Amino acid sequence: MTFAINTLSAVNACLGTLGELPVNGVDEDHPLVPAALAKIGQETAYLQADLWWFNVEYPTLFPDPIHKTIRIPSDCVGVDSFTQYPRLAVRAGKLYNLDTGSDQFEAPLRVRLHRSLPFDDMPILARALVQARAARKFHADYDGDQAKMQRLSADEQQSYVIFNSEHIRNAKANMLNRSGVQNVLMHINPDLTTRRFSRIG
């Protein structure tokens, strides 16, 4: 049996901290469901204010051949250039060059896109962390029982440790997959590698 973590499970996790029975849908007529949904949305946004392995992309963006502008996805939180210049921003849904004060671009540009995904589109470990955080803060808003708060805080901390470990693992994997790092690894002396890492495994 697979345990699903989705918006409904997160809502019921919040309700459960107050001893409420689970609902069958997020549109069910329950006085606390809107507050639970708001808390989940808030924590989803707070988590993704930072850069994680799942909400960062490195696309090459192409300007419109006629207007010379570059449209940016509506869920984009921020955008950076791969080099020091140009400094970039998003304005009116388009890429904006802060150095020239223009939204006109003549050539493709590789950028780092920081995106904010809906709760159900995040990886399961991110959803688990948001669910744990939302449940703790929801309970604090309505009850604040200290014994239960301690248990919810422990659940949140455990979720964060697992989530952050996955982030570190993915960050290392992405680094090793970069062509520059691969070229360096190909030229490492195998004997040195064996001696240096012989304790691993």
Asked whether the beta carbons of 125 and 54 are under 8 A apart, the reply is no
| Domain residue spans of the chain | 7-51+122-184, 56-115
- Nearest-10 Cα torsion for 155, 160, 165, 171: 160
Residue 125 pLDDT: 98
Q: Which has the closest alpha carbon to 16: 161, 126, 154, 151?
A: 151
Q: Tell me 59's DSSP state.
A: P
> Torsion-angle region of residue 198: left (phi > 0), alpha (psi -120 to 50) or beta?
alpha
Tokens 């495994």 -> residue: 201
pLDDT averaged per 10 residues, the chain (length 201)? 83 98 97 98 97 96 97 95 90 96 96 97 98 98 93 98 97 66 47 37 28
Q: Which two tokens stand for residue 26?
A: 């997020």
Residue 121 is which amino acid? Answer: D
Asked whether the beta carbons of 10 and 40 are under 8 A apart, the reply is yes
Residue 1 pLDDT: 43
**34-42 own/partner pairs: CB under 8 Å, 24+ apart:** 35/138, 35/141, 36/10, 36/11, 36/134, 36/138, 37/7, 37/11, 39/14, 39/134, 39/137, 39/138, 39/141, 40/7, 40/10, 40/11, 40/14, 40/119, 40/130, 40/131, 40/134, 41/119, 42/134
Asked whether the beta carbons of 70 and 62 are under 8 A apart, the reply is yes
Residue 152 pLDDT: 98
Residue 183 pLDDT: 52
Asked whether the beta carbons of 92 and 60 are under 8 A apart, the reply is no
Residue 144 pLDDT: 82
Distance CA 152, CA 135 (A): 7
Residue 24 pLDDT: 97
pTM above 0.75, yes or no: yes
